[in-house]
Amino acid sequence: MKILVAVKQVAALDEDFAIRDDGRDIDPDFLIRDLNEWDDFSLEEAVKIKEASAQPVEVVALSVGSDEVDESLRKCLAKGADRALRVWDTAIEDSDSIAIARVLAAVAKREAPDMLFAGVQSSDQSFASTGIATAAFLGWPHAAVVSNLEYAPGAKLALLRRELEGGLLHEVEIQCPAVLTIQLGINTPRYASLRSIKQAAAKPIEVLSLADVGLSAADVGVAGSLSRVRRMYVPDKGRAQLIEGDAAHQAARLAEIIREFKGAAA
Amino acid sequence: MSRTDAVTRILFEAFGAAEVRTFYLIGYAAIAVFCYGFYVQVRKYRRGAALALEGGIWSRFGTMLSTVLSHRTLRRRDRAAGAAHRLIFYGFLLLFAGTATITLEYDILEPLFGIRFWHGEFYLVFSLVLDLAGVALILGLLYMMYRRGWLKPPKLDYARPDRVAGDADFNRPQYRREDWAFLWLLLIIACTGYVLEAARLVWLQARPDVWDTRWWSPLGALLAEGMRASGLDARSAGWVRHSLWWFHGLIALLLIALIPFTKVKHIFTSAASLMVRDPLAAQRLARIPESQPQPGVAKITDFNWKQLLNLDACTKCGRCHEACPARAVGAPLSPRDVILSLRDFAQATLESGRIPDAAELDVHGKAPGQVAMETLWSCRTCMACVEICPVAVEHVPIIVQMRRKLVEDGAMDPLLTKTLQTIHKTGNSFGESKRKRGAWSKPLPFAVKDARKQPVDVLWFVGDYASFDPRNQKVSQIFASLLHEAQVDFGILYDGESNAGNDVRRVGEEGLYEVLAAANVNAMTQASFKSVVTTDPHSFNTIRNEYPDFGGKFEIEHYTTLAQRLFAEGRLQVTKPLKYRVTFHDPCHLGRFNKGYDAPRELLKLLGCELIEMGRCKANSFCCGAGGGRIWVPDPVGSEKPAQNRIKEAAAIPGLEVYVVSCPKDLTMFEDALKTTGNEGKFVVKELIELIREAVPARLTQEANA
Give mean pLDDT, residues A31-40.
Answer: 92
B122-147: string of b/e by CB count within 10 Å (b at 16+)? ebbebbeebbbbbbbbbbbbebbbeb
Closest residue by Cα to residue B328 from B661, B624, B632: B624
Which one has a higher pLDDT value, B117 or B204?
A: B204
pLDDT at B31: 96
How many C-beta neighbours within 10 Å does residue A200 have?
20
Q: Give pLDDT tens digits for A77-133.
A: 999 999 999 999 999 999 999 999 999 999 999 999 999 999 999 999 999 999 999
In sequence order, the 6+-apart residues with CB closer than 8 A to the CB of A105 are: A134, A137, A138
How many C-beta neighbours within 10 Å does residue B553 have?
13
Question: At B621, phi and psi to the nearest 5?
Answer: -55, 145
In sequence order, the 6+-apart residues with CB closer than 8 A to the CB of B130 are: B94, B95, B98, B217
pLDDT bin (cut points 50, 70, 90) of residue A263 is confident
Which one has a higher pLDDT value, B701 or B254?
A: B254
Domains, in order of start, for chain A: 2-224 (3.40.50.620)
Residue B408 and residue A193: Cβ atoms within 8 Å? yes
Q: Which residues pair with A148 in a beta bridge?
A: A161
**pLDDT of A60 above 80:** yes
**pLDDT of B178 above 80:** yes
Give mean pLDDT, residues B336-346.
Answer: 98
| CA max distance for chain B | 106
DSSP letters spanning A2-33? EEEEE--EEEEE-SS--B-TTSSSB-GGGEEE
In sequence order, the 6+-apart residues with CB closer than 8 A to the CB of B494 are: B435, B437, B438, B450, B452
Q: How far apart are CA A33 and CA B397, in angstroms?
A: 35
pLDDT at B235: 94
Q: How far is CA B537 from the centre of its chain?
A: 20
**pLDDT of B5 above 70:** no
Closest residue by Cα to residue A84 from A147, A7, A167: A7
Q: How far apart are CA A138 and CA B569, in angstroms?
A: 78
Among the partner residues B417, B436, B512, nearest to A194 by beta-carbon distance: B512
Q: What is the rounded (10 degree) CA torsion for B437, B438, B441, B446?
A: 180
Q: Give pLDDT tens digits for B130-176.
A: 999 999 999 999 999 999 999 999 999 999 999 999 999 999 999 99
- Residue B311 contacts residue B392 (beta carbons within 8 Å): no
Among the partner residues A188, A196, A198, nearest to B408 by beta-carbon distance: A196
pLDDT at B516: 98
Residue spans per domain, chain B: 19-46+186-272, 75-157, 281-412, 423-565, 581-695
Question: At B687, phi and psi to the nearest 5?
Answer: -80, 140
pLDDT at B456: 98
Name the A residues in 160-189 with CB < 8 Å from any B CB: 188
B218-242: string of b/e by CB count within 10 Å (b at 16+)? ebbbebbeebbeeebebeebbebbb
Q: Give pLDDT tens digits for B617-674.
A: 999 999 999 999 999 999 988 889 999 999 999 999 999 999 999 999 999 999 999 9
Query: What is the overall mean pLDDT for chain A?
Result: 93
Q: Angle at Cα A186 formed by Cα A184 and Cα A190, nearest 5°?
A: 85
Please tell me the least confidently modeled range out of B17-26, B230-239, B324-333, B693-702. Answer: B693-702
Query: What is the overall mean pLDDT for chain B?
Result: 95
Beta strands A205-208 and A179-182 are unpaired
pLDDT at A129: 95
Task: Give the number of A-B residue pairs with CB atoms closer than 8 Å.
Answer: 43
pLDDT bin (cut points 50, 70, 90) of residue B576 is very high
In sequence order, the 6+-apart residues with CB closer than 8 A to the CB of B28 are: none
Among the partner residues A32, A188, A191, nearest to B425 by beta-carbon distance: A32
Tell me, yes or no, if A202 comes closer than 8 A to chain B by beta carbon: no
Q: How far apart are CA B629 and CA B503, in angstroms?
A: 5
Percent of chain B whose pLDDT exceeds 90:
89
Residue B511 and residue A190: Cβ atoms within 8 Å? no
> Residues of B with CB below 8 A from A14's CB?
433, 435
pLDDT at B701: 44
Give mean pLDDT, residues A160-182.
Answer: 95
pLDDT at A265: 56
> Which residue of chain A comes nearest to B404, CA vs CA?
A193
CA end-to-end span of chain B: 97
Residue type at A188 in one-letter notation:
T
Q: Give pLDDT tens digits for B468-515.
A: 999 999 999 999 999 999 999 999 999 999 999 999 999 999 999 999
Q: Which residues pair with B502 in a beta bridge?
A: none
pLDDT bin (cut points 50, 70, 90) of residue A260 is confident
Q: How far apart are CA B21 and CA B321, in angstroms?
A: 49
pLDDT at A262: 80
Kindly list the residues of chain B whose beta carbon comes within 8 Å of any beta carbon in chain A.
288, 295, 407-410, 412, 414, 417, 420-421, 424-426, 432-433, 435-436, 509-512, 514-515
pLDDT at A202: 84
Q: Give pLDDT tens digits for B521-533.
A: 999 999 999 999 9
> Which residue of chain A comes nearest to B515, CA vs CA?
A194
Tell me, yes or no, if A196 comes closer than 8 A to chain B by beta carbon: yes
Crossing angle between the packed helical segments A130-138 and A97-111, to the nearest 10 degrees: 50
Q: Give pLDDT tens digits for B397-447.
A: 999 999 999 999 999 999 999 999 999 999 999 999 888 999 999 999 999
**pLDDT of A23 above 70:** yes
- Please state the pTM of the whole predicted model: 0.91
pLDDT bin (cut points 50, 70, 90) of residue B118 is confident
> Residues of A with CB below 8 A from B632's CB?
none
- Residue A19 contacts residue A26 (beta carbons within 8 Å): yes
Q: How far apart are CA B658 and CA B311, in angstroms?
A: 42
**pLDDT of B1 above 80:** no
| CA max distance for chain A | 76
Q: How far apart are CA B540 and CA B594, in angstroms?
A: 9
Tell me, yes or no, if A37 comes closer than 8 A to chain B by beta carbon: no
Residue B414 and residue A195: Cβ atoms within 8 Å? no
CATH code given to domain B281-412:
1.10.1060.10
> Which residue of chain B comes nearest to A194, CA vs CA?
B511
- The three-state secondary structure class of B637 is coil
pLDDT at B696: 95
Residue A195 and residue B408: Cβ atoms within 8 Å? yes
Count of helices and strands (H, E) across chain A: 7, 11
Q: How far apart are CA B618 and CA B604, in angstroms?
A: 15
Percent helix, strand, coil in chain A, to 5, is 35, 25, 40
Give mean pLDDT, residues B96-120.
Answer: 87
Q: How far apart are CA B2 and CA A217, in angstroms?
A: 117
Q: How far apart are CA B408 and CA B406, in angstroms?
A: 5
Q: Where are the alpha helices (DSSP H) in B47-77?
A: 57-70
Q: Give pLDDT tens digits for B279-313.
A: 999 999 999 998 888 899 999 999 999 999 999 99
> Residues of A with CB below 8 A from B510's CB?
194-195
Q: Is the ipTM of this complex over 0.95?
A: no
pLDDT at B706: 39
> Residues of B with CB below 8 A from A198's CB?
511
Q: How far apart are CA B165 and CA B143, in angstroms?
A: 30
Tell me, yes or no, if A32 comes closer than 8 A to chain B by beta carbon: yes
Tell me, yes or no, if A191 comes closer than 8 A to chain B by beta carbon: yes
Q: B217: exposed, middle or buried (C-beta count within 10 Å: 0-12, 13-18, 19+)?
A: buried
Q: C-alpha distances in angstroms, A35 versus A6, A84, A97?
A: 11, 14, 17
- Residue A29 contacts residue A21 (beta carbons within 8 Å): no
pLDDT at A122: 96
Percent of chain B whose pLDDT exceeds 70:
98
Which one has a higher pLDDT value, B612 or A20?
A: B612
Q: How far apart are CA B23 and CA B569, in angstroms?
A: 76
Query: What is the distance in angstroms between the Cα of B416 and the nearest Cα belonging to chain A?
Result: 10
Tell me, yes or no, if A193 comes closer than 8 A to chain B by beta carbon: yes
Closest residue by Cα to residue B505 from B394, B396, B430: B396
Residue B511 and residue A188: Cβ atoms within 8 Å? no
Q: How far apart are CA B449 and CA A21, in angstroms?
A: 32
Question: At A161, phi and psi to the nearest 5?
Answer: -115, 140
pLDDT at B705: 40
pLDDT at B435: 87
Tell me, yes or no, if A94 comes closer than 8 A to chain B by beta carbon: no
Closest residue by Cα to residue B610 from B653, B663, B646: B653
Residue of B292, B407, B507 to mutate, interface with A, max A Cβ within 10 Å: B407
pLDDT at B292: 87
pLDDT bin (cut points 50, 70, 90) of residue B704 is very low
Q: How far apart are CA B282 and CA B261, in angstroms?
A: 30
